[in-house]
Structure 1
Amino acid sequence: MPKPIEPMKRLILSAILASSLFGAAAHADSYEDALSSARRGDTPQLMQLISRGVDPNTVDAQGNSLLILAAREGNLDTVKELLKHRPKVSLRNAAGDSALMVAVLKGETTIVDILLAAGAEVNHDGWTPLMYAAFEGRTEIVDRLLARGVDVGALAPNGSSPLMLAARNGHIDVVRRLLKTGADLDQKNDAGFTAESWALDNGNTDIAGLLRAERSRRQAAGAR
């Protein structure tokens, strides 16, 4: 028959159990507070939590890191402070989006600049920052990405190139910039569209005309 636990031992065990439960609850609170701070742009609170041991690479249930959340919401100061803690700047969430990609989508040009300076990846599989910039017509961001040597020939999961996406959505200035890089005019996506045919299908006749003129120019240059 086991010996009964002495009162003092019972008291110590109870204290240990209570401490463990309190610690778990505090950890959970810190986790939620960190995510909330990144979303809201509460930089002082987030930095305080990190100084207390919260991982700068903390992610939510969808794989969004603190940096992704801050970039998505346009919280410039929070992004700057987070980068001082050397987070994984190119970490991608469950949807395949990085902090740079969500900043491109939202047109947060200053945040894009900061992330690029921090070494954010511009070339990878799946959707890329350039594809998002072309799709949204973010001309200034396209310029920045081109200056970083982004792959203009990379294809999205549906087989579309940045040129095709810009042509489809009527972003003629982006189309002009991509044409200067020698972007492929005849690439077809999974639906069978080229940049020109997709532009026509969406009523962007000015872009279709620009693409035809570029094709003629290239053919003439190749015949010399």
Structure 2
Amino acid sequence: MTRPSLLSVALAALACAAMPVATPARAQQQSESYKFLNAIREAKGNDVIAMLDRPGSSVVNARDISTGEGALHIVIKRGDETYLRYLLQKGADPNLRDAQGNTPLILAVQAGQRDMIPILAAAKANPNLGNQSGVTPLILAVQGRSIDMVRLLLAAKADPDQADMMAGLSARDYANQDTRSTAIAKLFAETPKKARPAVAGPKF
């Protein structure tokens, strides 16, 4: 039996090194997500359109691996209504949460983007989704004393009696505690409390 020469062994090694290595599907998806979110951040419209128009693409709901933010979070922070409408038309999830549990609607209130509230509401954004602390968009609007945003959120079926997890207080509670601005408390006084189902105990 003949032993392979050193030259043939070396050539075989070079051939193996030259062969393309298949990229795992997960790594490919992460790379695609990174490119998409970067294109959103830099407002590269042609790149964004090309990636979203790709057949079978689900990149519209990609999330940053470090912050958890998606495309909607990015465009809301910069106040870009054009991109917001376009992404929602392309199937972006209006209830996508970042690493802190913030939804696009929460960020819109935080940023004072009142005109984005009805856009998100029309796309079925849930106004009662709180962040990791249970803080809802309506609580934030009350704390910011923005009666316009409070009205918009109430119109979108926000619950003024949903409490947060930190203080156990609701938007109505925070409004009633604010003695410097009573307009929102008066607005809530005209908003009846919703009937809540009784919590059933164990049955024996």
Structure 2 residue aligned with 1:206: none
Measured against aligned partners, the alpha-carbon deviations of 1:74-102 in whole angstroms (never above 9, x if no partner) come to 11111111112212211112212101110
1:136 is aligned, of 137, 141, 144, to: 144
Structure 1 residue aligned with 2:159: 151
Measured against aligned partners, the alpha-carbon deviations of 1:172-202 in whole angstroms (never above 9, x if no partner) come to 332221121146xxxxxxxxxxxxxxxxxxx
2:83 is aligned, of 78, 99, 103, to: 78
State the Cα distance separating 1:45 from its structure 2 match.
Answer: 3.0
Whether 1:163 aligns to 2:172 is yes
Partners of 1:58 and 1:65 within 8 A in 2: yes
Percent sequence identity is 22
Higher alpha-carbon deviation: 94-103 or 69-78: 69-78
Q: Distance in 2 between matches of 1:44 and 1:103?
A: 25
Q: Distance in 2 between matches of 1:74 and 1:169?
A: 31
Structure 2 residue aligned with 1:187: none
Higher alpha-carbon deviation: 79-88 or 33-42: 33-42
Whether 1:16 aligns to 2:25 is no
State the Cα distance separating 1:10 from its structure 2 match.
Answer: 5.2
Q: Distance in 2 between matches of 1:6 and 1:151?
A: 72
Structure 2 residue aligned with 1:38: 40
Structure 2 residue aligned with 1:100: 105
Q: Structure 2 vs 1, CA of residues 141 and 48 (structure 1 numbering), >3 Å: closer, same or farther? A: same
TM-score by length of 2: 0.72
Any stretches of 5+ residues in structure 1 without a counterpart? 184-224
The amino acid that maps onto 2:98 is N
Q: Give the number of aligned pairs.
A: 181
Aligned-partner SS, 1:154: coil
TM-score by length of 1: 0.67
Q: Aligned Cα RMSD in Å?
A: 3.3
State the Cα distance separating 1:140 from its structure 2 match.
Answer: 1.5
1:124 is aligned, of 99, 120, 129, to: 129
State the Cα distance separating 1:42 from its structure 2 match.
Answer: 3.9
Higher alpha-carbon deviation: 99-108 or 70-79: 70-79
State the Cα distance separating 1:143 from its structure 2 match.
Answer: 0.8
Structure 1 residue aligned with 2:190: 180
Structure 2 residue aligned with 1:218: none
Q: Distance in 1 between matches of 2:68 and 2:191?
A: 34
The amino acid that maps onto 1:50 is L
State the Cα distance separating 1:27 from its structure 2 match.
Answer: 6.3
Q: Distance in 1 between matches of 2:144 and 2:41?
A: 23
Structure 1 residue aligned with 2:49: 47
The amino acid that maps onto 2:122 is A
Q: Distance in 2 between matches of 1:111 and 1:121?
A: 14
The amino acid that maps onto 1:145 is L
